[in-house]
Chains A and B, each alone.
Chain A
């Protein structure tokens, strides 16, 4: 395995439809992820549900991050430095399961996504490498 950090990180950009949670993303998403984490406390969930924009005023998010949180746009949140395990606190507070939330990122309906999983999931065929197309 490459121990050169530049080579190591460069490989990750070659995986279709995947954002590896690198340090660059972790730094960009620091406050977004910390905000999401705050929803682990019942009293915070209550305040969040009562007034989402006011709750977000307490966190130094970028305008794009704020908009994507309010829109529950999870692909965009991941592009803006969110990590799925942190973001799961937002959709859990909404009462969504991982299957329900994850399906919103795939362009399929929840039912179609669930059916695909029951039928054995998404094949990795053609989805391993952008450059090499296998």
Chain B
């Protein structure tokens, strides 16, 4: 049977992708950020290597415009191309899906009362490709299958933290009932504190971010109940992306162990947070 073994969270700032694509990772501005991913790069390509990653991210007005605003959309096609976000597509490999598992999760979640939107034709933007680049570098092909799961955190209301958590639980049940022997990760991306608009742009809240990282293991119930207004006030208008981390956290179940953590300010306008959690039985 498929086994969900680990969760990874990371910010997915587009400038990180540009730094990788343009060979700037060792420049003084970027070196501190990338050094914090070294442990994970070795682990995820070694002992922790997944067969499949269910990658939770938000589309930034790339595949979905104002015409379609799905709250939870799961990519079910065999492959997805990197999106052209206004400066040409990133030079990253195309994403190969585990379509059998993706369709299995979609069907199970619907019977479990999560009415997922199913997407076939969908280009994937920096929200999905930057985390892959951070973990796997610049290979010819991504070393695992990737199931894209896009969450609306642009048009209000986005899903509540509690709803995200419950979706994670439903996803975990779906993975556990898939008959193929697979090592599966769930990655939650986006955040941490950042605001990209208006006179308050550039907001960073390090105490809030570090408490959020702590409570993924210490007090996840606090995070599960956090109202949207608290994200907006404390972590900036785009800090709301952190609700997506709770899908990952809900999927892992009550018992987890933190394997690695990294926090860095800034990447462009954003505080970068990264954590690796092992699921314990």
Size of the B side of the interface (Cβ < 8 Å), in residues, is 53
Determine the chain B residues whose CB is within 8 A of the CB of A124 once the complex forms: 203, 205, 208, 233-234, 236
**Assuming A33-B65, A40-B86, A117-B269, is B195 touching A18 (CB within 8 A)?**
yes
A20→B156 contact, CB < 8 A: yes
Interface residues of B in 168-217 (CB under 8 A from A): 193, 195-206, 208
**Assuming A2-B227, A18-B195, A34-B65, is B202 touching A102 (CB within 8 A)?**
yes
B202→A92 contact, CB < 8 A: no
How far apart are the CA atoms of A1 and B154 in the complex, in Å?
19
B199→A40 contact, CB < 8 A: no
A1→B86 contact, CB < 8 A: no
B198→A78 contact, CB < 8 A: yes
Interface residues of B in 60-108 (CB under 8 A from A): 60-62, 65-67, 83-88
- From residue B152, how far is it (CB to closest CB) to chain A in Å? 11
Contact of A33 among B66, B196, B229, B265 (CB under 8 A): B66
- From residue B73, how far is it (CB to closest CB) to chain A in Å? 16
Determine the chain A residues whose CB is within 8 A of the CB of B199 once the complex forms: 16-17, 75, 105-107
**Which residues of A line the B interface, CB within 8 A?**
1-2, 8-9, 11-12, 15-23, 26, 29-30, 33-34, 36-37, 39-42, 45, 74-75, 78, 83-86, 88-89, 92-93, 95, 97-99, 102-103, 105-107, 113, 116-118, 120-124, 127-129
